[in-house]
Structure 1
Amino acid sequence: MAMLQTLLERSYKGRCNTFRAIADKHILEKHLGPSKPELKNIKAQSPKMNPNQLYQTITVTTQATSHQWEKVKALTTNLKIRKLQEDISVAGYLANTGLIKGWEDNHENHEDVNLRKTQWSNKLQGILALLGFSVGLGNLWRFPYLCQRNGGAFLIPYVISTAVVAVPLFILEVALGQFSAQGPIKVWAICPLMKGIGFCILFVTCIVVPYYSMVFAWALYYLYSSFSTVLPWTTCDNSWNTLQCTNVGGKTTYTDTNNTEYASEDIFRGNSSSKQESPRKFGHTSTEEFWQYKALGVSSGIDDLGEMQPHLVICWFLTCAIIFLCMMKGIRSLGKVVYVTALMPYFLLLVLLVRSCTMPGAVDGILIYLTPNFNLLQHPQVWLEALMQVFNSVGTAMGTVIVMASHNSFHSNLIRDSIIVTVIGALTSLFAGLVVFATVGFLAHSLQQPVVDVITSGPGIGFIVYPEAVALLPLPQLWSVFFFVTVLMMAIDSLFGHVETAVGCIEDLLPRRFHTKHIQSTLAAVFMGVVFLVGLIFTTRGGVYAYQLTDWYTWAVTSFVIAILECVIVGWCYGAERFSSDVEAMTGKRLPAIFKIVCFIILPLLLTIALGLTLSSYMPPKYGEYDYPESARVFGWFIAVLPVLPIPVTMVIEVFKREGSLAQRVRAATRPSSARTRYRQRHCVELTPESASLKDNFLFIFGR
């Protein structure tokens, strides 16, 4: 008991909250015996007491034994005394007194001590950060196109896929991150054999950040151009326009430098000599030509990268600088930024929807969006595309959900939060579809074309279709600014998640001695500096070809492999019973049988089938009518396979680090590490047998 009193004194001097944690009524009732009337006043009085007074009060009130105090210590030490744990001298003192076993004062063991990371200031910040990452440009660009191509009935498989794919995977990753408070590399202490998944996530994140950030740079350039007196993509009398240029709204006249006006038929007959006909096969509306020939300055192909373009280099530098400034203090700065970046898109989308609905043709576009064609549900391709859209847009299997959740408090309601984020993400897709189809309906009405000929997918809808639509509105500059600010907000939230994931992985790899006060700022600066240098390739004239190639192959294999392995490892190697006990320690409730069946049996099978169908239906990449050469396709597959290689490599390394026969080594490598086991003990998690048979695990999944 004297040792516990000293612990209280040391933690008080270290400005920690041990005494308040021990005074928590819930902890006292759980670990120090049944509730007594005197306990209800202890928590209120504890801030006024010094450690000695609090120690005497609790001991007399509860008649606590040393064994019961040990249980309180095991719970409160890891939940509330982060600063105390980080003090090496105090850690050594605790080891000497025997209060915390295994806290030897040496570097190696301090690496194994599982400290909780800096936490979000409040629960809302964590939810907004996850929501901002999950709701990205795919909700705005890809989802409406899939709805148009597969009919309004596409919403049915989309909702089902959200329930079957998004929700279980999201809960799984949030639980992994929240319980362990570790990044995508160290979290795999649950199965050291699969530590390579963390390196896989690091590799793919380092590929994604440079090319995805380029979308932000493009939107930044369009935002700058939106402040022009006349929107530059609305006219054909610019230096970058071709003879075939058609003005927004169908006006087909061109005025040359001598103020001579030519009709479209004269241009096509070649009666104008002021411009050369472009040999590049792209569309020739003024918005398309601004995008291709001005914003991108597109070359003839990927083998003709050309020079870097100054306007894109400037926007690229600003992009990297903005991301760094928002991430330089980690979640301390990110937690404040997400209030704006995660919520503002909803306000802006609402404004755009209201404005679009007042224009002719908007209702026709919305009706096409919402009118179901149930015959299309007979085609497996519709269900596959719904599953793919949910899987890619929700943000799982990228490591970011694990990283964001690692900053949650230990007892956050992860199931509730996961359902909130995934449901709002799905509803955001539906809402963005209304905005896009109302706008496209108005554009189709103005151009006197069918909606299906106007709608497109990917950057085309953001940098061609929508700019053309807002150009036909009154005050086009205002609506253009609104739209591109929305694009910037939706893009940067996803970028925050990817950058935090990469920095978190690198931090996991660094020894504890490098974890100084400014480690986050240093790593963010170095990482974004490298991203800036690598991303300069996308600012060249052939940069868009490199962008399309990278985007085409990056997630072709990796995301499926990571998601399948997550479900199999947690459910069958770590064990569904262990995982359920971890969730119970955080939420007070075990996982229902339906979740375990879907997540550990149905979902791996579905994703394996989806991976097989995706590979079997592979189509080589194209940009417009440009076909990539064979060498580019080979390099694309190299990008697709490279991130997966660390998984088998680390498997071999982990097996050879063990002793015994091959079977014994593999079995030992699949068991949770000793640090993970000690961590579970300190949280008073009910211990399960070291190894459970497949039959026992199967029966537990089905609730038996």
Structure 2
Amino acid sequence: MARQQWSSRQTFIMAAIGSAVGLGNAWRFPGIAYQNGGGAFLIPYFVALLTAGIPLLALELSIGKRFQSGAPGALAKLNKKFEWIGWWGVVTAFCICAYYSVVLAWVIDYVGLSFRSPWMEKAAADVFTGDVLQVSSGMFDLGGFSPIVVIALVIGWFCMWYCIRHGVTSVGKIVKYTVILPVILLGILIVRAVTLPGSWEGLSYYLTPDWSKLLDVNVWAAAYGQIFFSLSILFSIMIAYGSYLSKDAEVTKDAMIIGFADAAISFLSGFAAFGTLGYLAQISGVAISDMSHTGIMLAFVTYPEALGQMPGGSLGVILFSLVFFLMLFTLAIDSAFSIMEAIITAVVDKFGWNKEKTTLWLCVIGCLASLIFATRAGLYWLDIVDHFVNDFNLIAIGFVECLALGWMFGAKKLRGYLNENTDFKYGVWWDIAIKYICPVIFLFISITYLITNLQTPYSGYPLSHLVAGGWGVVVLTIVVGVVMSFIPGKEDSYSNQHVHNEASNLVESE
């Protein structure tokens, strides 16, 4: 059967932007920018985008396109010894999708709650941890399920399956709406936020540069880390999406479009967040510095608190609550189904199974795996697994991927794939980014992460919690990745020597 392809270049770009732009853009970027120099953070952020984000994004798109295969298959065709790296990314993606789908379920619950907006009369924290999550006393006190979370979780997985049930054909139809709609909704929220009393105080808090931060190496590490987390690179998605491009497609220009679009939406989301927080600070008398205005708490506690006090009466509160959570839903669904598409692509390419049936069964398995995060202890599990699997694994995968591809295979050979069929060619600067800049940054962040987590237990959790939900899951992703690479598949007879010869010819012809 012929491999599916994107219906057009525009559809591919929108799908890739939809994957890259997710919940992290709405709540992670503004908080990190504030913590690391405000407006000054934009300098290291855009340096990181140009020296690491776009080069890695282009790399993954190009090898997916060149070999028409998901991450494990594409890496195996470069060198069979690289296949496990691809599976490490795929298993990591599965773990991320398992808990990300539960966050999607929370968003679905909040879309429903917006019609009565209980945060008008009740503390938003009580609504979130009490009414919705029904949080238990600790990680091992599962306490059964929160019914409304389980129901929303099933709805979320159904939506994900529906979006990808026919592969990129159905994805292409969905992203026409789910990429444009959140941008429109974000625009509405920005206009409302900047016209609220006290909004300029919040925006000043967000944007005022602290130039001294540019001398802090940790600020630069935070900028590179945000780029890696935000662009959907390093856990198989962009290789899978690239594999559905035609052989004559350009990726050099597309990588830059996707990268800058993701950065722009991240930056703009800060206006909505901090304009609203400035208003909340004014009416509550609580300084912005004393609010929990990053991560999950920004979306499900701090923001609803502000929405509950929105001018315009109950109708205004309901309207803007709906706008905000519908925006989060459209942001989340694109990212969620793109992760599943990467996993499905890898499995189908490896074993040659029917894609539609494989999609259904992997969605069922994913839904079952995510149930641990829908228990009353789910918030603890999600917090720990996300911290270790997302923060550590992606950086470690990036380091290994750059060593394998940039050094063992050769950045110059890879640049030959990248510069096919384009008049906008990347030069030696791309080789330097892949061989030197990215590995050094990855190594620095990894070492810093290890030292920090070994010296100070994350968020004060007991060691048993961190081993069960953190380091244990990290080790599991590596082990499963290695085991998957040894299981025979339909593509294992591919000649690596043919790939090397082809790459050499490309380089010589440049």
Normalised to the residue count of structure 1, the TM-score between the two structures is 0.67
Take 1:597 and 1:543, find their aligned partners in 2: how far apart are those partners?
42
Greater radius of gyration (CA): 1
Q: State whether structure 2 residue 306 is matched by structure 1 residue 469.
A: yes
The offset of 1:647, in angstroms, is 6.1
Q: State whether structure 2 residue 54 is matched by structure 1 residue 156.
A: no
- Within the candidate set 137, 147, 157, 1:300 is matched to 137
**Which position in structure 1 is the counterpart of 2:254?**
417
**Which position in structure 2 is the counterpart of 1:686?**
505
Note the alpha carbon deviations across 1:346-377, whole angstroms, 9 max, x for none: 11010011011111001111112111011122
Take 2:193 and 2:387, find their aligned partners in 1: how far apart are those partners?
32
**Which position in structure 1 is the counterpart of 2:57?**
170
- In structure 2, the gaps of 5 or more residues are none
**Which position in structure 1 is the counterpart of 2:290?**
453
Q: In the TM superposition, what are the counterparts of 1:13-24 in structure 2 within 5 Å?
A: none
Take 2:98 and 2:481, find their aligned partners in 1: how far apart are those partners?
23
The offset of 1:227, in angstroms, is 1.1
The one of the two structures with greater contact order (alpha-carbon pairs below 8 A, sep at least 6) is 2
Compared CA separation, residues 687 and 169, structure 1 to 2 (3 A): closer
SS in 1 for 2:421: helix
Take 1:126 and 1:361, find their aligned partners in 2: how far apart are those partners?
40
Task: Select between 639-648 and 394-403 the one with higher mean Cα deviation.
Answer: 639-648
Compared CA separation, residues 684 and 595, structure 1 to 2 (3 A): closer
The offset of 1:629, in angstroms, is 2.7
Take 2:266 and 2:100, find their aligned partners in 1: how far apart are those partners?
20
Take 1:328 and 1:450, find their aligned partners in 2: how far apart are those partners?
47
Compared CA separation, residues 444 and 117, structure 1 to 2 (3 A): same
Q: State whether structure 2 residue 121 is matched by structure 1 residue 235.
A: yes
- Within the candidate set 82, 98, 112, 1:224 is matched to 112
The offset of 1:590, in angstroms, is 5.2
The offset of 1:476, in angstroms, is 0.4
- Within the candidate set 172, 181, 201, 2:68 is matched to 181
Q: In the TM superposition, what are the counterparts of 1:203-282 in structure 2 within 5 Å?
A: 203-228=91-116, 231-236=117-122
Q: State whether structure 2 residue 21 is matched by structure 1 residue 118.
A: no
Q: State whether structure 2 residue 23 is matched by structure 1 residue 137.
A: yes
Q: In the TM superposition, what are the counterparts of 1:479-518 in structure 2 within 5 Å?
A: 479-510=320-351, 512=352, 514=353
Q: State whether structure 2 residue 495 is matched by structure 1 residue 675.
A: yes
Amino acid at match of 1:209: C
Take 1:424 and 1:446, find their aligned partners in 2: how far apart are those partners?
34
The offset of 1:411, in angstroms, is 1.6
**Which position in structure 1 is the counterpart of 2:84?**
196
SS in 2 for 1:360: coil
**Which position in structure 2 is the counterpart of 1:631?**
464
The offset of 1:202, in angstroms, is 2.2
The answer to whether the Cα contact below 8 Å between 2:6 and 2:168 also exists between their aligned partners in 1 is yes
Q: State whether structure 2 residue 393 is matched by structure 1 residue 563.
A: no
Normalised to the residue count of structure 2, the TM-score between the two structures is 0.92
The answer to whether the Cα contact below 8 Å between 1:305 and 1:543 also exists between their aligned partners in 2 is yes
- Within the candidate set 365, 376, 389, 2:202 is matched to 365
Q: In the TM superposition, what are the counterparts of 1:645-684 in structure 2 within 5 Å?
A: 645=479, 675=495, 678=498
**Which position in structure 2 is the counterpart of 1:667?**
none
- Within the candidate set 127, 149, 152, 1:315 is matched to 152
Q: In the TM superposition, what are the counterparts of 1:23-172 in structure 2 within 5 Å?
A: 86=1, 117-152=3-38, 153-172=40-59
Amino acid at match of 2:346: C
Task: Select between 293-302 and 613-622 the one with higher mean Cα deviation.
Answer: 613-622
Amino acid at match of 1:173: E
Task: Select between 214-223 and 574-583 the one with higher mean Cα deviation.
Answer: 574-583
**Which position in structure 2 is the counterpart of 1:15?**
none
Amino acid at match of 2:73: K
- In structure 1, the gaps of 5 or more residues are 1-85, 87-115, 237-285, 658-671, 690-699
**Which position in structure 1 is the counterpart of 2:165?**
328
Amino acid at match of 2:101: S
Amino acid at match of 2:203: I
Compared CA separation, residues 437 and 589, structure 1 to 2 (3 A): closer
Compared CA separation, residues 371 and 575, structure 1 to 2 (3 A): same
Q: State whether structure 2 residue 271 is matched by structure 1 residue 434.
A: yes
Amino acid at match of 2:200: V
The answer to whether the Cα contact below 8 Å between 1:190 and 1:673 also exists between their aligned partners in 2 is no
Task: Give the count of matched residue pairs.
Answer: 498
Take 2:368 and 2:503, find their aligned partners in 1: how far apart are those partners?
48
The answer to whether the Cα contact below 8 Å between 1:184 and 1:402 also exists between their aligned partners in 2 is yes
The answer to whether the Cα contact below 8 Å between 1:556 and 1:640 also exists between their aligned partners in 2 is no
Q: In the TM superposition, what are the counterparts of 1:398-409 in structure 2 within 5 Å?
A: 398-409=235-246
Compared CA separation, residues 469 and 566, structure 1 to 2 (3 A): same
